[in-house]
Amino acid sequence: MGHNWNVDDEFELDATPEEVWQAIASGPGIDSWFMGVSDVEPGVGGSVTTDFGGFAQRSEITAWEPARHLAYTSEPSPDGRFIAFEYLLEAKDGGTTVMRQVATGFLPGDDWEAEFEAMVTGGLMYTRTLRSYVDHFTGRFGVPVSAMVQHPDFDRAWAGMRADLGLPSETAEGDRVTLTPTGLAPITGVIDYLADGYLGVRANDALYRFYRGFFGPGLGHHVFTDGADRTGLEAEWLAWLDSAVA
């Protein structure tokens, strides 16, 4: 038996509604904080299509009011699975924006609870990534860098990732850290998301995201340096991930 679900959140962003709209309603904007690579065909009846690396999800746009209201719903799978997003923007004094973000969907099967828990926690990470992007990188577009591997023991894989990053055992959101991934340049930044099996670090030129995952350990970064080579970066980070969880 499946489960209908709903997650509703509201927060203030240090950007105008027009700037927030660019982040949520354009391909380059979505690529700067969400997973995969996205393309947007604007307008009601248009689409948001996201390529997750071999699997593309198309969502139909059902509401399109620039700088005010955006909604889109994925095409349901044969078992009824779908996900829908809605964004409501309200301008505030001082050039800020209050955004309400609503996610709804359906998970099939009797074992939906574990997937739902992982999805909600991961969703919170991407909501925080959106907030970090809009608050700190408005006007810049990032290159998405993704990698994921299969592993029989997610907890052991996560412990290996943390150890190789040199992450202290006692950490909290807001802490300044220096990550030292083997074979890659050190990363200095601020922890902007931390949960069981999830780590987000905001650096001057990138948003770094690491996760234990529900289907396997992985990462999803957004790099804002000029000329960033997505293919090369993904190869480097995949090699690191393979080594860290071995």
Look at residues 191, 165, 163 and name the one whose alpha carbon lies nearest to residue 177: 191
The domain spans of the chain are 3-136, 143-244
Mean pLDDT score, 36-49: 97
β 143-148/82-92 pair status:
unpaired
Report d(CA 99, CA 101) in Å as an integer: 6
pLDDT digits (tens, 9 = 90+) for 50-85: 998 878 999 999 999 999 999 999 999 999 999 999
Question: Distance between terminal CA atoms of the chain?
Answer: 36
Quickly state the pLDDT bin for 2 (edges 50, 70, 90): confident
Quickly state the pLDDT bin for 169 (edges 50, 70, 90): confident
Quickly state the pLDDT bin for 110 (edges 50, 70, 90): confident
- For residues 33, 84, 36, 216, the Cα torsion angle rounded to the nearest 10 degrees is 100
Give residue 23's pLDDT.
98
Q: What is the CATH number of domain 3-136?
A: 3.30.530.20
**What global pTM score does this model have?**
0.93
Quickly state the pLDDT bin for 19 (edges 50, 70, 90): very high
CATH code 3.30.410 for 143-244: no
